[in-house]
Structure 1
Amino acid sequence: MKIGLIFGTRPEAIKMAPVYHELKKSKVDVKVISTGQHREMLYQVLNLFEIQPDYELNIMKEGQGLSELTSRLIQKVEEIVKEEKLDFILVQGDTTSAFVGALVGFYNKIPVGHIEAGLRTGDIYSPFPEEANRKLIGNIAKVHFAPTDVNVNNLLAEGYKNDNIQKVGNTVIDALYWVKENRSADLDFIKEKYGLIDKKYILMTMHRRENWGNPMRDTLKGVRRYLEENKELYLVFPMHMNPLVREVIREELEGFGRKILIDPLEYLEFISIMDGAHYIMTDSGGVQEEAPSLGKPTLVLRNTTERPEAIEAGTAKLIGTSSEEVYKYMKVLEGDLYIEMSKANNPYGDGRTSKKIYLEILKNIKGEQL
């Protein structure tokens, strides 16, 4: 049995890593195809989880649009897939790498499993292009590995057969538990490294394409207004490498003293700083999933979310990007709501998702061979 894992970004690698180790532990022949969409950030995670790709495509180049990226990926991924004669392909999430991996699998009549299937906002342009990628992968996948009941119901509503949908939880929780178990001694050291041991701070991340420009400016205006009224709080902001993102952050926070602006963090570092935060503000989907396991309330800086489970469970609030709403919800968190959100249960899994995925793949491949 030979299974191909196709991914290219850091979030994909984090969520694929536990699956990779589960497959290797079960003596499966695994081929890792790294598209290298976020190569520098990606290899931080691969090194942490001790994963060496079998193929590195290094596909990114300056000024490359989605159409060019997609066409170049199709050609390169197909060459590998034809050579390796894979029995099954796994893709994760909603990136262009995931979409292309599924499409090439379809072209070569190889069954595809979609990890983290069934996420939907209902708006094909938000997030862009991720929402469209999810739906396109869904049309191809043989097995939909859905994290929650909400995701299962989304897929059923779109007409997918119940037999092809498996509720398994989210592999990001497997990865987080692995770090807490195996690298706990490093977490305090990292907080000390960034001077955060005795600081009360809000952790903020913001990078999604739909938030570039004015949405990010408005958000930061609200954040700055609140922090200028609350002198005990610091802001820790790992900045995405995109120069458009960095320029806005620096302009809007210029002259504000209690900010710690840092480069994108390695996964282990990010977990440590998330673990020490008072609460989190983010437009990241992965952070919405991880934060509940650490007891961290989360303010989601988006107008829509494909992860309503966190909202319904009470671990997160969807607040948008207007400066007034951002300021309002930061003030709301001063009261009892903070305690309620920090104690809410994580709806995204129990740390055994990767095992469930392996067993389902095994069942599907054996079924094909009968």
Structure 2
Amino acid sequence: MVKTMSILTATRAEYGLLKPVIQALREVETLDVKVVVTGAHLSPEFGLTYRDIEHDGIEIDEKIEMLISADTPAAISKSMGLAMISFADYFARIQPDLLLVLGDRYETLAVSLVAMNQRIPIAHLYGGETTEGAVDESVRHAITKISYLHLTSTEAYRKRVIQLGEHPDRVHTVGALGIENVLQEPLLTKEELEKSLDFSLEKPYALVTFHPVTLEQYQAEAQIEELLAACASFPDMTFLFTKANADAEGRVINRKIDAYCVQHEHAVAFTSLGLTRYLSAMKGCQMVIGNSSSGLIEAPSFGVPTINIGDRQKGRMQAESVINCEPKEHAIRDAIRQAQSPAFQEQAKKAVNPYGDGKTSDKIRTILQQVFDGEMDLKKTFYDLEVKG
């Protein structure tokens, strides 16, 4: 019997991770995979990145608008409301047997709440992780509690999901999809990348992505100014920026980056590079700078140093190729110098990535097939652990 499965994607980064899973699941004859697109994918301001999905030959079942063109907390709450209204109609119409979601964004929580109300089992990728500087922390744990099946990136995170009361039989360690992309995605040569970007990468360059730290309200402007001031201290380096996502205060970061690139020839910014160009740029860069999870998850597999700024990723597992620093100009400058040093470059090349072996999509496909072959009981029993002290 064919089962219907919805897969949600709302951002460029999320789709980049989900791509191999979507492709693997579409090969299963007993699954009708429906990719539903929302959020920043449909916004001209964020690059209309749904076109990347279509370019990859993946059929989009439906595009659902929900993003209000503002980045205040109130606007985000209103966007969540629009998502709930629209997805209520969508799920009522297609009635999927399971919804697969990834991560910890507000769009994902809103859609997951709708699925919960409509008795649709949820499979959640990447619960149990911690990012203490972002509201994503609370969103991630909330999605965990309304999900039926849990697919974690490491064994430590699997244990944390169980600690949240989820039964061990429904919690599986599958590794990080980012590692699979690093190992499997056909990458561009340096010359091909330069031609695609229409920008010279002859000098050593840094790949820079900086997002708002959502639990540090009204700090985004000051923090991006500190980062840009540090970049200005290295005129012999090139800085390749990818812009912030649709979080609160993301737009102020993007305006500052655009202004900096106009004034400095050694910098260029892109709304979205897409998966292939982004990983190709990461492979050839001297270092990754910012506060994106990709600096912690994908970059170590390339042997590339990462400068992780501030608290947005605080608590997440890290390789020895990561340098943590405060969001201050002098700290970022010192971190760049450390990352440039031959000793640290060598350390980064030898670093062991803690996020798996790159066979994640096959593991997810196997687990989901087993789940569909069995019985799903949404009446979850809280799995208690002994508490000492």
Q: Which residue of 2 aligns with 1:42?
A: 49
| Displacement of 1:186 | 6.1
Distance 1:300 1:369 in 2: 40
Task: String of CA shifts for 1:168-225, please: whole Å, max 9, x gaps.
Answer: 0012222333322xxx456641234434353211121113354621111112222323
| Distance in 1, Cα, partners of 2:261 & 2:55 | 32
2:188–2:276: 8 Å Cα contact kept in structure 1?
no
Distance 2:22 2:166 in 1: 27
- Tell me how far 1:296 sits from its aligned partner: 1.2
Q: CA RMSD in A?
A: 2.4
Partners in 1 of 2:263 and 2:163 — Cα distance?
50
1:295 aligns with 2:298: no
Partner of 1:157: 163
* Alignment equivalent of 1:30, drawn from 7, 14, 33: 33
For residue 77 of structure 1, the aligned residue among 77, 87, 92 is 87
Query: What CA deviation, in whole Å up to 9, does each residue of 1:294-325 have, x standing for no partner?
Result: 22111112224256322xx2121221311121
Report what 1:305 is aligned to. 313
Q: Who is 1:66 aligned against? A: 76
Higher helix share: 1
Give the direction of change, closer, same or farther, for the CA distance of 1:239–1:32 in structure 2 (3 Å limit): closer
**Alpha-carbon distance change, 108 to 134 in structure 1, aligned in 2, over 3 angstroms:** same
TM-fit CA distance, 1:154: 2.4
In structure 1, distance between residues paired with 2:314 and 2:57: 30
- Does residue 323 (structure 1) correspond to residue 333 (structure 2)? The answer is no
Partner of 1:245: 253
Letter in 2 for 1:201: Y
Distance (Å, rounded) in 2 between the aligned partners of 1:186 and 1:99: 38
Q: Which residue of 2 aligns with 1:314?
A: 320
d(CA) in 2 for partners of 1:257 and 1:266? 23
2:101 to 88, 91, 94: 91
CA contact (8 A) 1:304 1:318 kept: no
1:149 Cα offset (Å): 2.3
Are 1:11 and 2:21 an aligned pair? no
Decide whether the 8 Å contact of 1:173 with 1:351 is kept in 2: yes
1:277 aligns with 2:288: no
Q: Residue 305 of structure 2 contacts residue 344 of structure 2 at CA under 8 Å; is this kept in 1?
A: no
* One-letter identity of the residue aligned with 2:296: Q
Deviations 1:136-162 (A, max 9, x none): 101111111000123123223333322
| 2:148 match | 142
Partner amino acid for 1:90?
L
User: Structure 1 residue 219 and structure 2 residue 227: aligned?
Assistant: yes
Single out whichever of 205-214 and 108-117 deviates more from structure 2.
Answer: 205-214
Distance 1:72 1:136 in 2: 19
In terms of mean alpha carbon deviation, does 343-352 or 152-161 score higher? 152-161
Q: Displacement of 1:360 after TM fit?
A: 1.3
Q: Spell out, residue by residue over 1:323-364, the C-alpha distance to the aligned partner (whole angstroms, 9 max, x if none).
A: 121111112223312210132122222221111112212222
Structure 1 window deviating more from structure 2 (249-258 vs 259-268): it is 249-258
Shift of 1:115: 0.9
Measured after TM superposition, the shift of residue 240 of structure 1 is 4.1
- Kindly indicate whether the alpha-carbon contact (under 8 Å) linking 1:41 and 1:264 is maintained by their aligned counterparts in 2: no
- Residues in 1 aligned to 2:117 and 2:257: alpha-carbon distance in whole angstroms: 43
Q: TM-score w.r.t. structure 1 length?
A: 0.88
Structure 2, gaps ≥5 residues long: 378-389
- CA distance in 2 between partners of 1:147 and 1:53 (Å): 26
Change over 3 Å in CA distance of 1:187–1:365 after alignment to 2: farther
* Farther-moved stretch of structure 1 (301-310 vs 318-327): 301-310
Q: What does the per-residue CA deviation read over 1:72-115, in whole Å, with 9 as the maximum and x for residues that have no partner?
A: 11111121112212111111101122212321221122211101
Q: Which residue of the partner structure matches residue 386 of structure 2?
A: none
Which residues of structure 1 form unaligned runs of 5+?
none
Q: Determine whether 1:355 maps to 2:362.
A: yes
AA matched with 1:189: E
Which segment drifts farther, 89-98 or 55-64?
55-64
Instruction: Give, in whole Å, the separation in 1 of the partners of 2:38 and 2:371.
Output: 26
Whether contact under 8 Å (1:113, 1:142) holds in the other structure is: yes
Task: Give me the whole-angstrom Cα distance separating, in 2, the residues matched to 1:215 and 1:187.
Answer: 31
- Count residues with an aligned counterpart: 357
- Segment of structure 1 superposing worse, 246-255 or 77-86: 246-255
Which SS does the other structure have where 1:73 is aligned?
helix
Contact residue 37 and residue 63 of structure 2 kept, 8 A? yes
How far apart are the structure 2 equivalents of 1:6 and 1:261?
27
With 88-97 and 327-336 compared, the bigger mean Cα shift is at 327-336
Point out the more displaced range, 300-309 or 273-282.
300-309
Give the superposition deviation at 1:41.
4.5
1:127 alignment partner in structure 2? 134
Match of 1:203 in 2: 207
Deviates more, 1:37-46 or 1:158-167: 37-46
Deviation of 1:250 after TM superposition, in Å, equals 4.7
Note if contact 2:244-2:253 (Cα within 8 Å) is conserved in structure 1. yes
